[in-house]
Structures are given as structure tokens and as C-alpha cells.
Amino acid sequence: MLLRTAVLMFSMACSIFIFSECLKQISTHARTKFLELNVIEKPSQSIVIPYLHYPEPVSFSRKECARNPVLFFVILSNQRSGSGWFETLLNSHINVSSNGEIFSVIRRRKNASSILHTLDKVYNLDWLNSASKNECSAAVGLKWMLNQDHVDVSSEYYELVQIKTFSGSMQGLLEHHKEIAEYFDHKRVSIIFLFRRNLLRRMVSLLANSYDRYAKLLNGTHKSHVHSAEEADILSKYKPTINTTSLLDDLKDMEMRAAKVLEYFNSTRHIILYYEDLVRNPNMLKDVQQFLGLPQMELTSRQVKIHRGPLSDHIQNWDDVNKALKGTVYESFLEADY
Ligand SMILES: *[C@@H]1O[C@H](CO)[C@@H](O)[C@H](O)[C@H]1NC(C)=O
Ligand SMILES: *[C@@H]1O[C@H](CO)[C@@H](O)[C@H](O)[C@H]1NC(C)=O
Ligand SMILES: *[C@@H]1O[C@H](CO)[C@@H](O)[C@H](O)[C@H]1NC(C)=O
Ligand SMILES: *[C@@H]1O[C@H](CO)[C@@H](O)[C@H](O)[C@H]1NC(C)=O
Ligand SMILES: *[C@@H]1O[C@H](CO)[C@@H](O)[C@H](O)[C@H]1NC(C)=O
């Protein structure tokens, strides 16, 4: 129980670094800038009027809330970067409807027009699911992944296909970035970028999650997120082996992807959050609520972190990985917590 409480507290201790305007510096050769920007720039206090909307959904009436403005947002993130946890935090707000990974369904991202059509529906509040707060939503949005893992592996092929996990297929965001960026600007959508600083930890999480897809360690059920320390312990017993031949390229690739998306969407109103900072500093959730123009509330999530403690406990071939990264720009990933 004590451990459970500690883990809960730990996962609720969250923080955010915000530096809205620093993006001009991000370019493909600037890895260290991307990961080591520590400047905190808060978004301006008040939301500018054009970002407030008064949708008129066709599926229901907003009733007494029709006069409350609604802000449109999108969370742009990568798999295994805390976005599931972050979205449950947001959805614990009485006025937030974040509708999940809508574009994991291929039909909705078939071409640019099907994407925009889907977005229209979301922002008109006509996308109904369990997260919808309906008439009294003050911020409505979705989670959109820069990559999508869809590794269907059988155990014998697992080692061979694992590396594909890092790039994965996309959810239409990068392929149609031009149309989507225009849409965001035109519709005044605000972007929350959510990244993870320690890409090696992300890699461990990706590999373990792919493994569990067929191993189904929790009583035969595959789970990507857990709600108890016991479940976390069971899932983290599996230690992935990391391909050290491609490790540097894989890390670089992950970084490039994030840099690219920042570049594509840099003219849209946004904040940048890092998972590690959110975990460390709960006050950063206040900045997020402010960014979304929400009344401040305590946000909660039942999700529990799966891989805790030093990375050396979670990687099968730790010595090789250690050797591969020592003396490189990624050396700090070996030590960093979270
Ligand atoms: C956005 O990125 C493009 C391409 O790197 C750059 O030319 C442009 O100046 C950037 N705009 C802003 C507002 O940072
Ligand atoms: C996009 O896909 C939809 C649905 O399949 C189709 O009806 C439409 O013609 C396509 N639009 C373009 C521009 O290809
Ligand atoms: C938030 O939701 C509550 C309950 O549905 C509603 O009374 C309130 O007006 C909403 N606030 C905003 C800012 O929309
Ligand atoms: C490791 O990566 C290298 C280079 O990409 C590749 O040739 C090799 O097949 C990979 N090994 C495994 C076990 O996936
Ligand atoms: C697995 O199922 C058993 C029996 O139903 C239950 O006692 C146990 O808690 C379950 N374990 C997990 C990890 O869900």
C-alpha cells in the first residue's frame, strides 16, 4: 500500500517546460538544443480572442453552456512518451474532452480531406465518446501520434522485427503536414507538443510494450498502461535486448522526427512539454490549464509508471548498450531518471 501510494504520488508529480518561441533554433542538426533547452517561457497570460470558439454541434444542444467559449487543441506526441497518462490527466478536468488517438483508424487518415473532415467533427463537438464532456466542454481536442507501432509479432520473429518499432507507420500527420498546419492556423487550433527527453527509456518502453502484445504478461491480457504497482512490476520483469548496431541511428531517427514536426507546425500557437518535467513538477499542469484557457482544477490520473529505477535494471544487454553510448551525445540517457 505504501509503495502504491508512493508510486501514485510519484506519477502525479508532474512538470512542464514551456518555451513557445524558442523553435527557430530547432533544426535537424541541433539535437542538443532540442533536448537541452531549459528555458522556461510561459505562454502569455490571456488567451487571445480568436482562439475562442462557439461551436454549434448537430448531435446535441450546448444548452446553458452555449455562451461558454471553447478552445481547440491537439496533443502531438510519440508512443511511449507519457501521452496516455497526460491525456487521462487532462480528461480528469470537468471541462476537457480529449478524444484519444482518433487517427489510429486508417479510414480516418486515408487522405487529407478525410483527416480534415474528422477534425471538423471533433472541433464541432460532434465526436462522441467516453471522454466527451459535451455541452460544457471548454477545451476539445485529440491525441495525435507522430508514429504508430503496429508490430504484430510472433515470438520467433520478435527479435527481427523489433527495430521497426522505432519508426513505425505514421498517423497521417507528417504525410499531410501542409494541409493540417493550414487547417490548424485557419481554425485557430492550439498545439501541445509532448516529448520525452530520455529516448533510451522510451525505446525500452516501446520494446517492452511490443513484446507484451504477444506475451500478454498480465493474465493473458495485453496492457499498454497499468493502474497498480503490482501490474507495473510484472510488466517490467521483461528486459528487452537493444540492438546496439543500430542504436545510435535509431536514437537519431527519433530525434529527427520530433525536430521535423516542430518545424512543420512552428507557426501554430503551441507549448512544448517534456514528460520528465511533468513527472517532476506538478505545478506545470497549471500552465497547461492556463494555456487551454481552463478554470484551474486538480488533475488526477490512476496510471502508474511501469519502468522505475535505473535503466540498467531494465535492459538485458546493459553492458553493450553502455559501451555503445559512452562518449556519444546520448551518454546522459544512461544515467537520467524517469
Ligand atoms: C518555421 O520553420 C521554418 C523552416 O525551418 C522556418 O523557415 C521558419 O522561419 C520557422 N518559423 C518560425 C515562426 O519559427
Ligand atoms: C479521400 O477519401 C475519401 C474516402 O475514401 C474519398 O471519398 C475522397 O474522394 C478522397 N479524396 C481525395 C481528394 O482523394
Ligand atoms: C465547466 O463544466 C461545468 C459543469 O458541466 C459548467 O457548469 C461550467 O460552466 C463549465 N465551465 C466552462 C468554463 O465552460
Ligand atoms: C540490428 O541492426 C542492424 C543494423 O540495422 C541489422 O542489420 C540487424 O539485423 C539488427 N539485428 C537484429 C537482431 O534485429
Ligand atoms: C490474475 O488473475 C488472478 C485470479 O483471477 C488474480 O488473483 C490476479 O490478481 C491476476 N493478476 C493480475 C496481474 O492481474
Listed in sequence order, the residues at least 6 apart from 280 whose beta carbon sits closer than 8 Å to its beta carbon are: 13, 14, 15, 338
Q: Is 106 in the pocket of ligand 2 (CB under 6 A)?
A: no
Would you say 11 and 303 are in contact if contact means Cβ atoms under 8 Å apart? yes
Q: Determine the Cα–Cα distance for residues 25 and 223; give it in Å rounded to an integer.
A: 38
| pLDDT of res. 34 | 47
**176-183: Cβ within 8 A, 24+ apart:** 176/109, 176/111, 176/112, 176/115, 177/261, 177/264, 177/265, 178/264, 179/112, 179/115, 179/116, 180/112, 180/115, 180/116, 181/264, 181/265, 181/267, 181/268, 183/116, 183/119
Q: Is 221 in the pocket of ligand 5 (CB under 6 A)?
A: no
Of ligand 4's atoms, which has the minimum distance to the CA of residue 243? 1
DSSP 8-state secondary structure symbol assigned to residue 115: H
CB atoms within 10 A of CB 337: 12
Tell me how far the alpha carbon of residue 197 lies from the centroid of ligand 3, in angstroms: 35
Tell me how far the alpha carbon of residue 141 lies from the centroid of ligand 3, in angstroms: 16
| pLDDT of res. 171 | 81
Q: Is 113 in the pocket of ligand 2 (CB under 6 A)?
A: yes
Would you say 197 and 330 are in contact if contact means Cβ atoms under 8 Å apart? no
Residue found under cell 505504501:
2
Tell me how far the alpha carbon of residue 219 lies from the centroid of ligand 5, in angstroms: 6
The answer to whether the pTM exceeds 0.85 is no
Report the b/e string of 284-306 with b at 16+ CB within 10 A.
bbebbbbbbbbeeeebebebbbb
| pLDDT of res. 125 | 92
Backbone angles phi, psi at 54, to 5 degrees: -125, 75
Query: Tens digit of pLDDT per residue, the chain (338 long)?
Result: 555 555 444 444 433 333 333 333 333 334 444 444 433 444 544 566 788 999 999 888 888 888 899 999 999 998 888 888 899 999 999 999 999 988 888 889 889 999 999 999 999 999 887 767 777 889 999 999 887 554 433 333 344 344 444 444 568 888 899 999 999 999 999 999 999 989 898 888 888 888 878 778 888 888 888 888 888 888 788 888 888 888 898 888 888 888 989 999 989 999 999 999 999 998 999 999 999 999 999 998 878 787 888 888 888 899 999 999 999 999 988 887 76
| pLDDT of res. 322 | 92
DSSP 8-state secondary structure symbol assigned to residue 104: G
Report the b/e string of 205-239 with b at 16+ CB within 10 A.
bbbbbbbbeebebeeeeebebbeebebbebbbebb
| pLDDT of res. 107 | 86
Strands (E), 146-259: 189-195
Whose C-alpha lies nearest to ligand 3, atom 3?
136
Q: Determine the Cα–Cα distance for residues 129 and 51; give it in Å rounded to an integer.
A: 24
| pLDDT of res. 7 | 44
Among 18, 12, 50, CA closest to 288: 18
Q: Is 110 in the pocket of ligand 2 (CB under 6 A)?
A: yes
| pLDDT of res. 335 | 86
Q: Determine the Cα–Cα distance for residues 231 and 181; give it in Å rounded to an integer.
A: 40
